[in-house]
Amino acid sequence: METLRWLDLVVIVIYMAGMAFIGLWFARRQTSTERYFVAQRSIPGWAMGISLYATVISSVTFIAYPGAAYAGNWNELVPGLMVVPVLVLAVFLFIPFYRRVVGMSAYEYFGKRFGGRTRAFSAVAFACGHFSKLAFVFYLVALTVNSMTGWNIYWVTVIMGVVTVFYTFCGGLEAVIWTDVIQGFVKVFGIIICLGFLLFLPPGGPAAAFHTAWQAGKFNLGSLDFDLTQKGFWVMTFYGLFWFLQQYAADQTVVQRYLVTASNRQAVKGTLLGGLLCVPVWTAFMLIGSLLWSFYRLTGEKFPGYITKSDQIFPYFLSTHIPAGLAGLFMASLFAAAMSTISSTLNCLAVIGTEDIYRRFQPMASDARRLQVGKGIVVGAGLFTTVIAIVLARYAGHALSLYFTATAILSGGLLGLFFLAFFSTRANARGVWAGIIACLVFTGWATCTEGKDQWFDLGRYNFPLPGVMIGVIGHVVLLVVGYLASFFFAPPEPALRELTLWGWLKKQKERAVEPVGASAVLGQNP
């Protein structure tokens, strides 16, 4: 399919117009930072949950998961399963705690606990990690749509960027969340369409498709051998556990969702809904990859010469087997996956840029002025991300690789920092900074010496484990070094104990507002 069929184009235009309309609809209400950043804390729990799910399921999921399952097995699903135990901690600890100690930004907590410099560092670390992610999200969508339709990859990137920035700029977090709700349903329709064709198109139908994939071990979760040098089951388990702990304990995109509902009960319901919705969706994309493998084995179809990577196979199937209209719906779901992730992150960047950075230098700035700054950050960050995505599409060489390497180094350690703040009454600002520096040094060494395409080859001193373990160990390095170094400096003021888990639990018990346990997190107190 060299040109986009008119029915598919109509579907995409309607989708884009709908997103822009929602931004305009909510624009007139954005008169304060409280409204623009946390939607006046008026979002129902179910909508917050769908928004959380839509934000997590990005275009990377659409392409990478089917490609991984086609080429191998379901090993890449293992990290996603770790969201379930992390949700327990979020429900009983993170949600009620954050809703009491911060206003808009997760990193406000780090500032209260360890000072303004630590707050600024954590905000910058979050921004670095997410800027890199956003560029890849843009790029993958544009590349996939280009392969399906022949559309110019740069124009796809620009149009997607402009529409996303427009509704995020105009409508604030309210527009982000309600567009996420629509986008969440669009994604589900796209998945159902693809699974239906993959199950019933090949000869023998669903039974043959499942049997062929099962016989080839396509549903295997990876080796159960406890070998940390290979990306088997246990390595991916550790990676997933630490990844979701960071997401739910120290990532602004998730913590901000805790704050937008009217009560703890609604926040808990939304967080559970959002996290648990992700698991079947991740599983569905892995199933798509396995069924793709069965489809081409059962039909005997051959790939054209330009198909050289497993990530190209799903887009190729869509372009050759999904009829007009339905292909447009899938492309709309692909746009939705990218735009929901990007819009949420842009609003989060505006929050931390305004509340964690700008207010540090302009503490007397009016709310109206902070609102202007926040909107400016949305536009600036969106344009910057779009440009990086275009550069990525045009030139993926040394300079861009350096940029992504640098941001990966700077974004590490936030979970270790949270653990020090939350669980240790002895940790202090100077000790924490020793841990931050140690984490940056370790992450820099590991990132630059890991894998086959390392920046520096130090021989036996290269990082020996899979790249996914860098973040895991980085958190531990910051936690251990920061804790031990704290003993070389004066202990923190006793009042700061209230900002730890132990002080918070004691205060809860004394006030008898929310007894510890399920009733605490399901209570009506905000």
Task: Check which CATH number belongs to the domain holding 347 and give it.
Answer: 1.20.1730.10
What pLDDT digit, counting tens, does each position of 351-379 carry?
Answer: 999 999 998 889 899 999 999 999 999 99
Tokens of 494: 């006793």
- What's the 3-state SS for 158-172? HHHHHHHHHHHHHHH
In a domain, 329, yes or no: yes
Tokens of 219: 């549903």
Provide the angle, in degrees to the nearest 10, between the axes of the packed helices 414-423 and 233-250. Answer: 60
In a domain, 454, yes or no: no
**Looking at residue 517, what is its pLDDT?**
47
Q: Taking the mean position of all CA atoms in its chain, how far away is CA 478?
A: 22
Q: Position of tokens 């109509």?
A: 10
CA-to-CA distance for 210 and 207, rounded, in angstroms? 5
In a domain, 15, yes or no: yes
- Contact, 363 vs 371, CB < 8 A? no
> Of 17, 14, 15, 34, which is closest to residue 25 (Cα–Cα)?
17
**Looking at residue 396, what is its pLDDT?**
54
What pLDDT digit, counting tens, does each position of 147-162 carry?
Answer: 777 778 888 889 988 9
Output the pTM of the full model: 0.85
Instruction: Give the number of C-alpha atoms closer than 13 A to the C-alpha of residue 239, restricted to the C-beta side.
Output: 21
In a domain, 433, yes or no: no
**Looking at residue 295, what is its pLDDT?**
92
DSSP for 385-443 reads HHHHHHHHHH--SHHHHHHHHHHHHHT--HHHHHHHHHH-SS--HHHHHHHHHHHHHHH
In a domain, 179, yes or no: yes
Domain range spanning residue 148? 6-398
In a domain, 423, yes or no: no
> Of 136, 117, 122, 181, which is closest to residue 351 (Cα–Cα)?
122
Tokens of 211: 């049997």
> Of 254, 250, 282, which is closest to residue 60 (Cα–Cα)?
282
**Looking at residue 4, what is its pLDDT?**
55
What is the number of domains present in the chain?
1
In a domain, 451, yes or no: no
Low-confidence ranges of the chain (pLDDT < 50): 1-3, 397-400, 402-404, 407, 515-526
CA 218-220-221 angle, 5° bins: 130
- Contact, 172 vs 39, CB < 8 A? yes
> Of 39, 109, 48, which is closest to residue 355 (Cα–Cα)?
109
In a domain, 121, yes or no: yes
